[in-house]
Structure 1
């Protein structure tokens, strides 16, 4: 699965400011920047991010997914700690 495809799917399915994907060999991590999503409980955040990607878990294109969520303000402060731009 291509990283840009994961980003596109999440951008289309969720109300997000930014999405960054990394990984390979069916093991991926995403950073999702969204005030709306970050306001939800951790469980609800995971459910929201997993939902549009579920078909890819079924096919094995995605085996594992790590999710980190940020508000826009927190991402502005913390983005230098990450390798994403």
Structure 2
């Protein structure tokens, strides 16, 4: 798995206004800005991303994913 592949998987399952993925092939970090996060707490946002990745998280294809998740308004305020 490459950063580009992981980024494409997230973008395919979640509308993103901004998406950055970095990592070493097993451990990843992502900054995800999506209107789908409106009204969600952080844990629900993370679960939404995990659901997008599906079996890849469970099969250890993506061993660890650290996320910073924002709504567009939160991102604009940063």
TM-score higher than 0.5 here? Answer: yes
Q: Return the alpha-carbon distance in structure 2 between the equivalents of residues 58 and 70 of structure 1.
A: 24
C-alpha RMSD over aligned residues = 1.7
Mapped pair 1:14 → 2:14:
yes
Query: How many correspondences in the alignment?
Result: 78
Shift of 1:36: 2.8
User: Aligned residue for 1:62?
Assistant: 62
TM-score by length of structure 1 reads 0.76
Q: Quick check: 2:32–2:70 contact (8 Å CA) kept in 1?
A: yes
Range moving further from structure 2, 69-78 or 22-31: 69-78
The CA deviation at 1:38 is 4.6
User: Is the partner of 2:15 in helix, strand or coil?
Assistant: coil
Residues 21-32 of structure 1 mapped to structure 2, 5 A cutoff: 21-32=21-32
**TM-score normalised by length of structure 2:** 0.81
Gapped regions of structure 2 (runs ≥ 5): none
What is the alpha-carbon distance in structure 2 between the residues aligned to residue 14 and residue 2 of structure 1?
18
**In 1, Cα distance between equivalents of 2:58 and 2:47:** 16
Instruction: Return 5+ residue gaps in structure 1 as ranges.
Output: 79-85
